[in-house]
Amino acid sequence: MRIGGFQKLSLLDYPGKLSAIVFTIGCNFRCPFCYVPHLVLPEVIKKSGEVPVNYVLSYLEKRRNLIDAVVITGGEPTIHNDLPVFIRKLKSMGFLVALETNGSNFGMLRQLIDDKLIDYVEIDIKAPLTFEKYNRAVGNVLTPKIFENVKSSVNLLLKSSIDYEFRTTLVKELHTKDDILEICRSIRGARRYYLQNLKRTGFFVGGKELTSFNEEEIMEILNEGRKIVNVIYRE
Ligand code: SF4
């Protein structure tokens, strides 16, 4: 597994727990609004440093009584075949493990849940679950197989007893209010659906300027969306 970043402490990223965050390198999507090009685009990755896996494990080993959880994000962690091995090591140290994923590796996600290797899952739902819209939102790299995987991952969480959240980043160029309401309908019954507005933080993977939603538009989405599912706005 390749690690491109390691945050030693977070109070926010695992609900109610002190966590450390591991950022894996590489992703199979190219979401235009993605703000971590140094973890996604090969030409930018080349110029960025890596954090040795052993360094991360030995740091965590020494802090096992101080930190409750490890959040694994990216990039896309599930493109790494040895992710389960890494997580097993974290579990053997007694950590709770949260996985942030784009849902494209359904087989690995199901196995991790079945093997009780993860305790919390966050899946990004990039757009309504129709091929064309989803493909646009992930930078036109979607294949029918990956799309089926994403839908299967969403359905798996809806039926699973594992704790999870769905979330969407609101981008004017990719979403309308109706798109978000369509997502709400497709995850009816979900425990939590977080909406977050596009944030400007350096440059995006798509290399283009993008637009966030205004307050009034967000309020409208929240008012209507909350009639369908438990929508929460994340600042
Ligand atoms: S936002 Fe998209 S491109 Fe960026 S890491 Fe997540 S899935 Fe990959």
pLDDT surpasses 80 at 202:
no
DSSP class of residue 162 equals: S
pLDDT of residue 131: 98
Question: What is the per-residue pLDDT for 203?
Answer: 86
Domains of the chain from N-terminus onward: 3-234 (3.20.20.70)
Nearest atom, ligand 1, residue 73 CA: 5
Which of the four pLDDT bands, split at 50, 70 and 90, describes residue 57?
very high
Q: What is the pLDDT of residue 107?
A: 98
CA angle 164, 21, 38 (to 5 degrees): 105
Q: In this model, does residue 135 exceed pLDDT 80?
A: yes
* Mutation pick for ligand 1 pocket among 2, 22, 31 (CB with most ligand atoms within 8 Å): 31
DSSP per-residue string spanning 102-130? -S--HHHHHHHHHTT--SEEEEE--S-SS
The pLDDT value recorded for residue 199 is 87
- Residue 12: beta bridge partners? none
As for ligand 1, residues whose beta carbon falls within 6 Å of it are 27, 29-31, 34, 36, 40, 74-76, 102, 205
Could you identify the atom of ligand 1 that is nearest to the CA of residue 138?
Answer: 2
Distance of CA 129 from the midpoint of ligand 1 (Å) = 17
Section 177-203 average pLDDT: 93
CA dist 165 and 107 (Å) reads 19
- Which pLDDT score is estimated for 61? 97
pLDDT tens digit string along 27-53? Answer: 999 999 999 999 999 999 999 989 999
Q: CA 208 → CA 25, 41, 59, 90, 139, distances in Å?
A: 22, 15, 38, 38, 12
What's the confidence (pLDDT) of residue 116? Answer: 97
What pLDDT sits at residue 200? 74
